[in-house]
Structure 1
Amino acid sequence: MANYGQPPYGQPGYGAPPGQPGQWGAPQVDPQVQAWFMAVDADRSGRISALELQQALVNGNWSHFNPETCRLMIAMFDKDQTGQIELPEFQALWSYIQQWKGVFERFDGNRTGSIEAHELGQALTGMGYNFSPQFHQMCITKFDFHGRRSMNLDQFIQCCVMVKSLTDMFSARDTQRAGRITVSYEDFMTMAVMTKI
Structure 2
Amino acid sequence: MYFQAQPMMTTVVQFQAPVVMQGMWYYNLYAQLQQQQLMEMNAWFISMDRDRSGTISSHELQYLVIGGTPLGIDTANKLIRCFDRNRNGQIDFYEYAALHAFINHLYRCFAANDRNFSGTIDVREIYSALASAGFSLPFQTVNLYFMKYSPTGAPLLFTQYLNLCASVALTRSLFEWSDPMRTGMIHITLQQLFDMFALA
- TM-score w.r.t. the length of structure 1 is 0.63
In structure 2, relative to structure 1, the CA distance for the partners of 1:108 and 1:81 (3 Å cut) is: same
- C-alpha distance in 2 between matches for 1:35 and 1:118: 37
Q: What is the percent sequence identity of the aligned residues? A: 25
Aligned with 1:140 (options 127, 131, 146)? 146
Partner of 2:45: 37
Cα deviation code 1:142-184 (max 9, x no counterpart): 1238x67222334323433444526958x515xxxxxxxxx99
- C-alpha distance in 1 between matches for 2:193 and 2:159: 22
Q: Does 1:159 align with 2:164?
A: yes
Partner of 2:180: none
- The amino acid across from 2:43 in the alignment is A
In structure 2, relative to structure 1, the CA distance for the partners of 1:166 and 1:190 (3 Å cut) is: farther
Instruction: Name which structure has the greater RCO, CA cutoff 8 Å, separation 6+.
Output: 1
The equivalences for 1:12-161 within 5 A come to 15-18=25-28, 20=30, 30-58=38-66, 60=67, 62-126=68-132, 127=134, 129=136, 131-132=138-139, 135-144=141-150, 149-161=154-166
Cα displacement (A) at 1:48: 1.4
- C-alpha distance in 2 between matches for 1:161 and 1:103: 14
Structure 1 stretches lacking a partner, 5+ long: 1-13, 174-182
Cα deviation code 1:50-108 (max 9, x no counterpart): 121110132x4x22223222112112222343312222222222122211221122112
- The amino acid across from 2:196 in the alignment is M
Query: Secondary structure, in 3 states, of the residue corresponding to 2:43?
Result: helix
- C-alpha distance in 2 between matches for 1:89 and 1:163: 17
- C-alpha distance in 2 between matches for 1:156 and 1:150: 9
- The amino acid across from 1:151 in the alignment is L
- C-alpha distance in 2 between matches for 1:166 and 1:91: 18
- The amino acid across from 1:121 in the alignment is Y
- TM-score w.r.t. the length of structure 2 is 0.62
Which has more radius of gyration?
2
- C-alpha distance in 2 between matches for 1:193 and 1:158: 21
- The amino acid across from 1:17 in the alignment is Y
Deviating runs (4+, > 6 A) in structure 1? none
- C-alpha distance in 1 between matches for 2:126 and 2:45: 30
Structure 2 stretches lacking a partner, 5+ long: 1-23, 177-183
In structure 2, relative to structure 1, the CA distance for the partners of 1:78 and 1:135 (3 Å cut) is: closer
Aligned with 2:196 (options 191, 194, 197)? 194
Q: CA RMSD in A?
A: 3.5
- The amino acid across from 2:73 in the alignment is P
